[in-house]
């Protein structure tokens, strides 16, 4: 496959999957494995993820600006900011401690990714069908203890194939957060989490980063940005009406296809 087409496809895959509970990292690693694509220092993967982050920020820019301005005078706005930061804290601690193991061992195990895609899909189907009673409908008004617990759930997604949004959404649903609010809290939490992860990766790998294929990187970035912006605008309304079952089936189908291909020697 032409490298520009491959870059556009991977950018599309990143934007499409980053903010839904199907594991964008798992999809990208499996796609890279089967397409034989690898960038030095993971430059391409880091930059297209930055495109998805900026897309989310562009969608939430007005709401975030309003929230931070209100924080000067309103306790509720300050509590909302602290709530997201508390949820972010566990990822900082565990990410720093386990970064090397995650990148060098877990990211190199396609079979594990395929299995976890399937298992995560089953979990989503079960939770979506037997979701606990709703006790919280506002993503910006969660109790601090529950925000921290959701942040701990997010750490499971450091294993490729688990899904950051999937772990946070399932954790939130189990704690009585309404489906749309669970997705929105996951979006807000992704801003500091993904932003910090990208910055850390860039700093950690600054000596081996390779921007030689600028055109392919730019193509992937642009496609990821546009696709992620569209997905974020669509997904809240969709899950509010339909829940998460479709994403569970998505994971099972992709994971099963990948597992079959790997077992067949591809």
Are 190 and 204 contacting, i.e. CB atoms less than 8 angstroms apart?
A: no
**Cα three-residue angle 152-129-116, rounded to 5 degrees:** 50
Are 181 and 137 contacting, i.e. CB atoms less than 8 angstroms apart?
A: yes
At residue 78 the predicted structure's pLDDT band, cuts being 50, 70 and 90, is very high
- In the block, which residue shows the tokens 């730019």? 218
**Structural domain count of the chain:** 1
Over residues 39-62, the mean pLDDT reads 84
The encoded tokens of residue 223 equal 């496609």
Rounded-to-integer distance, Cα 23 and Cα 116, Å: 10
If one compares 226 and 108, the residue with the highest pLDDT of the two is 226
If one compares 211 and 258, the residue with the highest pLDDT of the two is 258
Give pLDDT, residue 1.
59
Check whether 41 has a pLDDT greater than 60.
no
Check whether 230 has a pLDDT greater than 90.
yes
Question: What is the domain range of residue 223?
Answer: 3-263
Check whether 189 has a pLDDT greater than 90.
yes
At residue 146 the predicted structure's pLDDT band, cuts being 50, 70 and 90, is very high
Over residues 131-154, the mean pLDDT reads 93
Q: What is each CA distance from 23 to 39, 61, 62, 82, in whole angstroms? A: 20, 24, 27, 26
- What percent of the chain stands above pLDDT 90? 58
If one compares 123 and 200, the residue with the highest pLDDT of the two is 123
Check whether 136 has a pLDDT greater than 70.
yes
Check whether 209 has a pLDDT greater than 70.
no
Are 16 and 48 contacting, i.e. CB atoms less than 8 angstroms apart?
A: no
Neighbours of 204 (CB within 10 A): 15
Give pLDDT, residue 11.
93
Q: What's this model's pTM, rounded to 2 decimal places?
A: 0.87
Neighbours of 27 (CB within 10 A): 25
């Amino acid at each position: 496959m032409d490298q520009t087409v491959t870059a556009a496809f991977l950018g599309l895959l990143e934007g499409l999957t980053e903010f839904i509970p199907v594991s964008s990292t798992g999809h990208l690693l499996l796609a890279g494995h089967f397409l034989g694509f690898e960038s030095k220092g993971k430059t391409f993967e880091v930059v297209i993820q930055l495109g998805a982050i900026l897309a989310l920020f562009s969608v939430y820019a007005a709401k975030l600006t309003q929230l931070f301005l209100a924080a000067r005078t309103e306790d509720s706005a300050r509590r909302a900011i602290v709530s997201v930061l508390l949820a972010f804290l566990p990822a900082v601690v565990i990410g720093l401690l386990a970064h090397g193991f995650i990148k060098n061992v877990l990211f190199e195990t396609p079979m594990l990714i395929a299995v976890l895609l399937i298992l995560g899909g089953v979990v989503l189907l079960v939770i979506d069908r037997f979701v606990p009673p709703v006790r919280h409908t506002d993503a910006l008004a969660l109790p601090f203890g529950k925000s921290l617990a959701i942040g701990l759930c997010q750490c499971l997604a450091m294993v490729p194939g688990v899904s950051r949004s999937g772990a946070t959404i399932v954790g939130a649903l189990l704690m009585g957060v309404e489906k749309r609010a669970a997705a929105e809290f996951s979006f807000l939490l992704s801003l500091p989490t993904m932003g910090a992860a990208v910055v850390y990766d860039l700093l950690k790998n600054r000596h081996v980063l390779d921007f030689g294929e600028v055109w392919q990187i730019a193509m992937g970035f642009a496609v990821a940005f546009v696709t992620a912006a569209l997905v974020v605008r669509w997904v809240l309304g969709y899950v509010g009406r339909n829940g998460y079952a479709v994403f569970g089936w998505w994971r099972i189908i992709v994971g099963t296809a990948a597992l079959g291909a790997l077992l067949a020697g591809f």
